[in-house]
Amino acid sequence: MAKLVFNYGAMGSSKTANALMVAYNYEERGQHALILKPATDTRDGIHTVSSRIGLSNTCRLIDEFLDEFTKNPDCVLNYNAIIVDEAQFASPEQIDLFSDIVDTWQIPVLCYGLRADFQNKFFPGSRRLMEIADEIKEIKTICWCGKKATCNARYDDHGIIKEGAQVVLGANDKYIALCRKHFKEGNLGK
């Protein structure tokens, strides 16, 4: 039975690497997995998904695919699975369309993304996934202290940043995963 799955984790937990490995497993078995990402994620180019460890693949944009889907719903029949990277940037309405694909066409939709932003608040796409996903799985990583990291701290040369726009693209240069204690303390471990 197909499911809407939300695989979430803090920054650096290998969410994208996991998504790319799942896509590879489908392809290796002769099945076709569609990889999607939001247009917001421009770090690796428009139609590329890349992980920190060097894995990459081509992808389509969520908007492009869902526009096609609303005009021709049968287009989903070309795929055995849909894999969504950076799902936190999807809108709640897009998440609902993914649930329609699961429920009506029995095609699994596997979403990967952050649960919360740098202020430890939900992204809209993540909130909707937490509300309606059939399965919610945490991809774990650790804080500098060795405890489980659950918070995404944005930082600069002056320390942790607590205010600003919800979306600022970056990787290890702007974000670090911290345990809740060190997030609250603003302790980057440096």
151 assigned binding-site residue: no
8 assigned binding-site residue: no
Closest CA to 67 of 36, 89, 40, 28: 36
The angle that helices 92-105 and 124-132 make with each other, rounded to 10 degrees, is 30
Strand order across the 151-156 sheet: 159-161, 151-156, 175-178
85 assigned binding-site residue: yes
182 assigned binding-site residue: yes
Cβ count near 164 (within 10 Å): 11
75 assigned binding-site residue: no
Closest CA to 104 of 70, 141, 61, 152: 70
175 assigned binding-site residue: yes
86 is catalytic: yes
168 assigned binding-site residue: yes
CA angle 171, 18, 150 (to 5 degrees): 55
Please tell me which residue in 27, 28, 68, 86 is annotated as part of the active site.
Answer: 86
2 assigned binding-site residue: no
Question: Residue 74 in contact with residue 45, Cβ under 8 Å?
Answer: no
143 assigned binding-site residue: yes
Sign of the CA dihedral with 135 first, then 141, 146, and 149 last: negative
Annotated binding site for ATP: which residue ranges? 85-88
Annotated binding site for substrate: which residue ranges? 167-170, 175
Annotated binding site for Zn(2+): which residue ranges? 143, 145, 179, 182
- Which residues are tagged catalytic? 86
Annotated binding site: which residue ranges? 85-88, 143, 145, 167-170, 175, 179, 182
